[in-house]
Amino acid sequence: MSATHEQPADLVLTGGRIATMDAARSWASALAVREGKLVGVGSDQAIAQFVGPSTRVIELRGRTVTPGFQDAHVHPIHGGIARLRVWLHDARGREAYLAVIDYGFNNATHNRHQFTDDDNAWTIRVAVTVPYTN
């Protein structure tokens, strides 16, 4: 394969099933990428022209490629509430739980807390202050 374009692609995927999301041409077998952007989608033969001496060529061997989906949104209220929580899912055992809880309370913004472990009964009393500005 040799590049007939002025600039060869940085990456070529060939021999696969490329979902194009185009109703007129739903599937292709190859694609070419240059500088992070698609520069060609089509048959293996059509995309061969994008291959140059430094092009990385990946043979898909029939595997499927689909568009990536990025989700960039936030839920500010839930994010704030999550930062007030103490997550115990990675802690294992009583001592680890106590350490995570203690760390969470010592690093939270609140007026006061009382954490006791008297008689193997866990008691937590917390007064949390959430500033409100108008």
Grade residue 128 by pLDDT with cuts at 50, 70 and 90: very low
Query: Considering the chain, what is the average pLDDT of its residues?
Result: 79
Contacts of 14 (CB under 8 A, 6+ apart): 29, 30, 44, 47, 48, 57, 58, 59, 60
Model pTM above 0.85: no
DSSP labels, 82-129: HHTS---TT--SHHHHHHHHHHHHHTS--SEEEEE-GGG--EEEEE--
Portions of the chain given CATH number 2.30.40.10: 11-65
Please report, in angstroms and rounded to a whole number, the separation of the first and last CA atoms in the chain: 66
* 26-75 per-position pLDDT tens digit: 999 999 999 999 999 999 999 999 999 999 999 999 999 998 877 777 77
What is the distance, to the nearest Å, from the Cα of residue 21 to the centroid of all Cα atoms in its chain?
22
Parallel, antiparallel, or unpaired for β 17-19 and 56-59? unpaired
Burial environment of residue 108 by CB neighbours within 10 A (0 to 12, 13 to 18, 19 or more)? middle
CATH class of the structural domain 11-65: mainly beta
